[in-house]
Amino acid sequence: MMGLVFRKEFTELMRDRKHLLVTVLLPILITPLLMVAVAAMQVQAESVQAERVFRYSLLEEAPLSGLRAALQANTGLKDAGSMATDTAVSAVTNDRLDMAIRVFLEQKQWVVELTYKDTDQVALKRQRIETLVTQLNAAQVSEQLAELGIQSERVEAFLQPVRFSTSNVATQQESLGQLLGNFLPFLIILWLLSSATAISSDLVAGEKERGTLETLLISPVPLLAMVMGKWLAITLSSWLAGALTLLSLWCSAWLLVATLGSDAVVELMAGLSLFSLVAGLVILLPTAGLVAAAFLASSTWAQSFKEAQTYASGLMILFFIPLFANLSGTVDLTWLTALIPVLNASLVFAELLKGSLMIGFLLPMVLADAVVILVILAVAVALYRSERVLVRQ
Amino acid sequence: MIRVESIYKSFQLAKAVAKKTGQRTQNAVEGVSFHCARGEVLALLGSNGAGKTTTLRLLSTALSVDSGEIWMDEVPVHRFPRRARHNIGFLSQSTPLYRRLTVYENLMFFGQLYRLEARALVQRIETLADQLTFRTYLHQKVDSLSTGMQQKASIARSILHDPDLLVLDEPTSGLDVAAAQQILDFVLQQRSQGKAIVFSTHHMHEVELLADRLCVIDQGRTRFTGTVQAAKQHTQQEHLSQAFLALIAETIR
């Protein structure tokens, strides 16, 4: 009976174009396209910024030897002529000038004051002038120390007697795994959630509105079989959405590797091995089951399709909390976090991509998810047993 | 066949309504009683909101009674609804079929739920498709069918497992004259095969054509049970519609 209900539900879902769009087409096409587009836009933005020439105005209240020459020698900078400080600052504020540089002496120290307007995080304008000033500073220090008889090779040791040195032993796979592990589970589970939301509302609340649920409930099919059949259909469909997202990303990544062909990139992609893919697909299953159970119960509680979608939106936000926790990169996989649904899957995923997953964590993860699934399904069965499922208040 | 004895059903009111009215529940059915034998058609009449649909949903076991008894032969339906389900065919007002499946797939699904043997089920579907004249669109998706076609398929669905009791909630609602007539003919045919049929309708000519007896309910209470002729005599009216209005008016008085 359970198989019969599942087959019917799954056949119906596979014939629903909207469902196919959310579960199949968007994960396969949109996700990698979105990633490539964002990456391409980022690269282009950086390239455009790097090639930009900034117009500056230099006002030397106290001449600093070498500064004007260094500014003029830089191809990324163009002199707009000297102007009064107020005029220059006003011009920068009104976007008629990129930078105003004022040089003055304060307690026998030159101050290079830069006024600029930058809203992006790269702060390219500041970087360019800071580099120039740093180089100028180093040259001045060497010159002054040489006058005191300190040889140029000892300048660094003189200025910084204690140097801090580090050596990071994390492999590139681990570093990339951390980065991908924070981001990929979010993207994959997001599609899984989207699919479950759409399906569950239709499969339960939608059936209530169309009257088919009543027909099903007065048939001799046992309630448990009916609930399990519906749960399996939602689980499989939402898992499919997550799995296709993962598969699509995996294929796109390896396509990039094949196109670029560099050894460094190949090493970086080691975290995306075939084993990782298969393991990732398996790890998604308990999460899909849990999400399906939660959405099934909420849709059963809802008295209309619209109400079911409202509850589903609330549940989505609830599921976002563990996803954001992993996205922040501040939570580690421990015996405790392995017991927290959704968070456990995203953390296990991250460890898998880093190549440092301890298989032992899978057991508490699966057990915790299974317990939560059973509790939610028991609630769903109880709801079906009550007349609330058929009667609006 | 089916015996309904003083059944009661109330529904919980929404909090906002309950606050306004000071009542937590509303009675939908209050002591309805009637019976229907094999080979008999009983028409359940009443104005909108009288409690007809709730009564039929109680008969179908979709809802359970608060008090009172429903007996199907020797089976207490009110206590063991699952035991009775195999023998009840219920058609609700909403033509409940899965719209993305074909008519055939719908019927196969429901037939399998009733554990009908595969070959017998296919044969049964074909027989019903011929009787209700929908063989030509048996393999079309329900979504693409007209209301009349969907209603015929729904009736086939409700009678697929050959139940002894048929419960039909306004089976000709929204249908054109030809489609409605085909369904009425089918009901007569089922009666001749010894089925007990309880149906609700607002069309008095259907009652005169089909019903052996009628049960008029108003505000959840039984107002009259008897034959069409008895209803006319009781109210001293020539036409059934006038008799019905007179019975309702008695309640108002």
DSSP state of A119: -
pLDDT at B171: 87
Determine if residue A18 is left, alpha or beta; phi over 0 gives left, psi from -120 to 50 gives alpha, anything else beta: alpha
The answer on pLDDT for B198 being more than 90 is yes
Report residue B107 as tokens: 């019927």
The model carries a pTM of 0.79
Distance between CA atoms of residues B9 and B62, nearest Å: 12
Residues of B in contact with A215 (CB under 8 A): 90, 92, 96, 110, 157
Report residue B253 as tokens: 């008085």
Highest mean pLDDT among A60-74, A119-133, A225-239, A265-279: A225-239
* Residue boundaries of the structural domains of chain A: 2-35+171-389, 53-159
- Chain A residue with the nearest C-alpha to that of B112: A4
pLDDT band for A172, please (50, 70, 90 cuts): low
Under an 8 A CB cutoff, do B101 and A221 touch?
no
Of A329 and B163, the structure prediction assigns the larger pLDDT to B163
- DSSP secondary structure, B119-169, as one string: HHHHHHHHHHHHHTT-GGGTTSBGGGS-HHHHHHHHHHHHHTT--SEEEEE
Distance between CA atoms of residues B118 and B111, nearest Å: 9
pLDDT at A296: 93
What does the pLDDT look like over B2-38, one tens digit per residue?
999 989 998 888 778 888 888 888 888 898 999 999 9
pLDDT at A269: 62
The answer on pLDDT for A112 being more than 60 is yes
Under an 8 A CB cutoff, do B62 and A390 touch?
yes
Among A162-171, A257-266, A284-293, A349-358, which is the least confidently predicted range? A257-266
**Going by C-beta distance under 8 Å and a sequence separation of 6 or more, which residues neighbour residue A340?**
A322, A368
pLDDT at A334: 87
Distance between CA atoms of residues A206 and A127, nearest Å: 58
pLDDT at A352: 81
- Chain A residue with the nearest C-alpha to that of B92: A211
Under an 8 A CB cutoff, do A218 and B90 touch?
yes
- Strand B196-200 to strand B165-169: parallel, antiparallel, or no bridges (unpaired)? parallel
Average pLDDT over residues A382-388: 85
Among A35-44, B34-43, B243-252, which is the least confidently predicted range? A35-44
The chain-wide mean pLDDT, for chain A, equals: 83
pLDDT at B214: 92
The answer on pLDDT for A78 being more than 70 is yes
- Chain B residue with the nearest C-alpha to that of A221: B113
pLDDT at A393: 55
Residues of B in contact with A385 (CB under 8 A): none
Best probe of the B interface among A4, A6, A8, A208, by most B CBs < 10 A, is: A8
Distance between CA atoms of residues A291 and A287, nearest Å: 6
The ipTM of this complex is: 0.87
pLDDT at A289: 95
The answer on pLDDT for A155 being more than 60 is yes
The chain-wide mean pLDDT, for chain B, equals: 89
pLDDT at A294: 95
Residues of A in contact with B16 (CB under 8 A): none
Highest mean pLDDT among A14-28, A172-186, B177-191: B177-191
- DSSP secondary structure, A163-220, as one string: ---------HHHHHHHHHHHHHHHHHHHHHHHHHHHHHIIIIIIHHHHTHHHHHHTSS
Of A264 and B120, the structure prediction assigns the larger pLDDT to B120
pLDDT at A12: 85
Average pLDDT over residues B201-212: 90
With H, G, I as helix, E, B as strand and everything else as coil, classify residue A385.
helix
pLDDT at A39: 64
The CATH number for A53-159, chosen from 3.40.30.10, 3.40.190.10, 3.40.47.40, 3.40.50.300, is: 3.40.190.10
pLDDT at A267: 58
What does the pLDDT look like over A314-351, one tens digit per residue?
999 899 888 888 888 788 888 899 899 889 988 888 88
The answer on pLDDT for B66 being more than 80 is yes
Highest mean pLDDT among A250-259, B123-132, B173-182: B123-132
Average pLDDT over residues A221-240: 92
> Which single residue is written with the structure tokens 């670029």?
A260
- Segment holding A240, helix H or strand E: helix A223-260
The whole-angstrom distance between residue B45's C-alpha and the CA centroid of its chain comes to 11
The answer on pLDDT for A265 being more than 60 is no
pLDDT at A292: 94
Of B226 and A40, the structure prediction assigns the larger pLDDT to B226
Of A88 and A167, the structure prediction assigns the larger pLDDT to A88
pLDDT at B39: 92
Of A163 and A55, the structure prediction assigns the larger pLDDT to A55
Among A306, A288, A278, A280, smallest CA distance to A194 is for A288
Residues of B with CB under 8 A from a CB of A: 11-15, 57, 60-64, 82, 85-86, 88, 90, 92-101, 105, 109-110, 112-115, 141, 157
pLDDT at A268: 55
Asked if A249 and A31 touch (Cβ cutoff 8 Å), the reply is yes
Distance between CA atoms of residues A275 and A281, nearest Å: 10
Under an 8 A CB cutoff, do A12 and B100 touch?
yes
pLDDT at A264: 52
Distance between CA atoms of residues B188 and A141, nearest Å: 111
| Direct distance between the N- and C-terminal alpha carbons of chain B, in angstroms, rounded to an integer | 34
Under an 8 A CB cutoff, do B115 and A220 touch?
yes
Query: What percent of chain A is modeled with pLDDT above 70?
Result: 90
The answer on pLDDT for B42 being more than 90 is yes
What is the arrangement of strands in the sheet containing A99-106, beginning at the earlier edge strand? Answer: A77-79, A54-60, A99-106, A109-116
The answer on pLDDT for A216 being more than 80 is yes
> Which single residue is written with the structure tokens 């032992």?
A360
The CATH number for B34-65+84-252, chosen from 3.30.590.10, 3.40.50.300, 2.40.50.100, 3.20.20.70, is: 3.40.50.300
